[in-house]
């Protein structure tokens, strides 16, 4: 059985306080976040420092050709990191950058995502395309907009949990 969840596209780029509030809204018991670092690509020194600051929160590091929002079609691979999403790790994220779409090579690893405790993806970003979406119900979207009033969302098609993205 495929479970379908509404997809709400983020309109514009969350920046500053809106970016921080959006990420903070993803914090709940058992939540995690992650990003990808493609093999063979160097990133800025400050990005390596961020990864080191996040080491205490590391859950997994795996080699993959796909992560939420992206599927590599050219045979290349990436290290996909997953971390506990806690107030302390959130602080590292919001002090590293104040913009959602800055999560791209060479300044940072690619495509920040947030996974809920049940394993479902809550936030997907495809930074180089300036695209992000949330997999939430209409009621959850309304609650989120009350928490993050400067966030703009647009309802899109429903998506299955297996719909992980493209390249």
pLDDT, residue 13, reads 97
Question: How many domains is the chain partitioned into structurally?
Answer: 1
Position 39 scores a pLDDT of 95
**Residue 75 sits in which domain range?**
4-159
3-class secondary structure per residue, the chain: CCCEEEEEEEECCCEHHHHHHHHHHCCCCCCEEEEEEECCCCCCHHHHHHHHHCHHHEEEEEEECEECEEECCCCCCEEEEEEECCHHHHHHHHHHCCEHHHCCCCCCCEEEEEECCCCCEEEEEEHHHCEEEEECCHHHHHHHHHHCCCCEEEEEEEEECCCCEEC
Burial degree of 83 (CB within 10 A; 0-12, 13-18, 19+): buried
Task: Please check whether residue 115 is in contact with residue 122, taking contact to mean a CB–CB distance below 8 angstroms.
Answer: yes
pLDDT of residue 5: 73
Tens digit of pLDDT at every position of the chain (167 positions): 556 678 999 999 999 999 999 999 999 877 999 999 999 989 999 999 999 999 999 999 999 999 999 999 999 999 999 999 999 999 999 999 999 999 999 999 999 999 999 999 999 999 999 999 999 999 999 999 999 999 999 998 765 544 444 33
Query: How much is the pTM?
Result: 0.90
What is the pLDDT, as a whole number, of residue 30? 78
Residue 78 contacts by C-beta under 8 Å, 6 or more apart in sequence?
36, 37, 38, 39, 63, 64, 65, 67, 72, 110
Instruction: Answer yes or no: is 126 within a domain.
Output: yes
95 domain-assigned: yes
Q: Is residue 164 part of a domain?
A: no
Residue 167 lies in a domain: no
């Amino acid at each position: 059985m495929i479970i379908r969840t509404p997809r709400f596209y983020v309109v514009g780029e969350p920046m500053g306080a809106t970016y921080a509030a959006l990420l903070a809204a993803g914090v709940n018991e058992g939540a995690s976040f992650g990003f990808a670092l493609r093999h063979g690509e160097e990133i800025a020194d400050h990005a390596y420092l961020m990864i080191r600051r996040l080491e205490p929160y590391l859950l997994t590091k795996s080699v993959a050709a796909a992560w939420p929002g992206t599927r590599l079609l050219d045979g290349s691979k990436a290290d996909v990191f997953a971390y506990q999403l806690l107030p302390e790790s959130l602080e590292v994220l919001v002090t590293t950058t104040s913009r959602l779409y800055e999560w791209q090579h060479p300044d940072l690893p690619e495509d920040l995502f947030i996974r809920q405790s049940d394993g479902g993806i809550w936030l997907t970003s495809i930074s180089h395309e300036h695209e992000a979406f949330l997999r939430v119900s209409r009621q959850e979207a309304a609650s989120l907009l009350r928490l993050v009033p400067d966030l703009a969302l647009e309802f899109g098609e429903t998506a299955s949990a297996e719909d992980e993205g493209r390249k």
